[in-house]
Amino acid sequence: MTTPMNDDEPMVRLRDLSVTFAGGRKPVHAVSGVSLEVKRGEVVALIGESGSGKSVTMRTLLRLHPERRTRMGGTVQVAGRDVLAMSQRELADFRGKVASMIFQEPLLALDPVYPVGAQIVESIRRHESVTQAEAQQRALALFERVRIPSPERRLQAYPHEMSGGMRQRAMIALALACNPRLLLADEPTTALDATVQIQILLLLRELQRDLGLSVIFVTHDIGAAVEVADRIAVMYAGRIVEEGTARELIRSPRHPYTIALLKSRAHGALARGTRLETIGGAPPDLSALPPGCAFAERCALASDACRAAQPPVVELASNHRARCIHTDAAAAIAPVLVA
């Protein structure tokens, strides 16, 4: 039974989420103690390097991990429902109808042996009592909404017959087919060229505003996050190390990892011909995490205290926090940027 949402209740509430994968020689602690809320109608970006736990966190919201070798702990609530307590039948009703995902590579996510339109029609009819003709009309309207040219003809196309940008638009149409309240976008622009990336980002933001969706947007590109997000959460080694509004995080980053990400990309304050900075070293082994801050071995500000124990979360402002004991020193090395 679905409990109606209170007006003030967040669309997503994660509390002390942990995800561990077993099956190998050592368990892999992919997510460790993540707490995050997403309000109704809000866009939150998860950013960080590959392997930081962004996609694992997203997939946990739909419980897409293999059940036999995945251990999940903590609280995962979406639209007031406990995702970890759902039966398989409840999950089937929940996915697509309440929460839906845009996958990174639509060529792999879409079924190659069925026309794209047929897949959208099937999804609509799975969740709603409509006729075949009604579902086809809705699929056509969705293709028009995501601006796919010649939508009637493209409904009959197979995934491999579409360009990368068009496939991603079709993937967005499929994700929106049953009017979900939460949209999960897992690096939806990674495989696209720069021009198409911008088009997809603008389309997602427009759809979010028009439909009042809550969105979690995963990316490794902090520039893309700033374009679409109201708030940004920076992940490293399975933990959120800094969280704040997009403007605050760009103007006043206070975690050394966030600062390193900002310095590693081109921006207006960078003089022409200046080399971009890189983040030295490599992310830690998630099967053997250190007792202290996981970023310590790559951090210029690290001290013995950083390596000894997990740093606490420091509240910097009402909507800005960082998991670091050197937030004041980090402010001194942050790049001067304008959001």
pLDDT score at 267: 58
Last residue of a domain, one of 160, 179, 198: 179
Q: Report the percent of the chain where pLDDT is more than 70.
A: 94
Helices (H), 69-115: 88-94, 106-109
Please check whether residue 316 lies inside any domain of the structure.
yes
The tokens of 242 are what?
A: 């800094």
CATH number of the structural domain spanning residue 239:
3.40.50.300
Residue type, 40: R
Give yes or no: residues 254 and 307 share one domain: yes
What number of other Cβ atoms are within 10 A of residue 307's Cβ?
13
Residue 231 has pLDDT above 90, yes or no: yes
Is 33 part of any domain? yes
- Laid out side by side, the sheet with 43-47 consists of 99-102, 182-186, 214-219, 43-47, 231-236, 239-245, 320-323, 313-317
114 in the same domain as 60: no
For all residues of the chain together, what is the average pLDDT? 91
**Contact status, residue 324 vs residue 256, Cβ threshold 8 Å:** yes
- Residue 87 has a pLDDT of 96
pLDDT at 243 over 70: yes
Taking residues 118-140, what's their average pLDDT?
A: 95
For 269-321, how does the pLDDT look when each residue is reduced to its tens digit (9 = 90+)? Answer: 555 666 778 888 999 999 999 999 999 999 999 999 999 999 999 999 888 99
Q: Give the range of the structural domain holding residue 57, as residue numbers without chain letter.
A: 12-87+184-333
**Number of separate domains in the chain:** 2
Q: Is residue 96 part of a domain?
A: no
Contact yes or no for 181/79 (Cβ under 8 A): yes
Q: Which of 130, 148, 179 is the last residue of a domain?
A: 179
Q: Output DSSP code: residue 220.
A: S
Location of structure tokens 């309207």: 141
Contact 107, 160 (CB under 8 A): yes
Q: For residue range 153-179, what is the model confidence (pLDDT) as tens digits?
A: 999 999 999 998 999 999 999 999 999
Q: Indicate the residue among 164, 179, 194 that finishes a domain.
A: 179
Q: How far apart are CA 288 and CA 21, in angstroms?
A: 13
Same domain, 71 and 201: yes
Give the pLDDT confidence score for residue 339 in this predicted structure. 46
- pTM score: 0.91
Q: State residue 7's pLDDT score.
A: 61
Could you tell me if 293 and 307 are in contact, meaning their C-beta atoms sit under 8 angstroms apart? yes
If pLDDT is split at 50, 70 and 90, which confidence band does 5 have? Answer: low
Q: pLDDT class for 337, splitting at 50, 70, 90? A: low
* Nearest by Cα to 77 from 1, 9, 21: 9
Report pLDDT for 147. 94
Q: Are residues 25 and 166 in the same domain?
A: no
Per-residue pLDDT for 266 more than 70? Answer: no
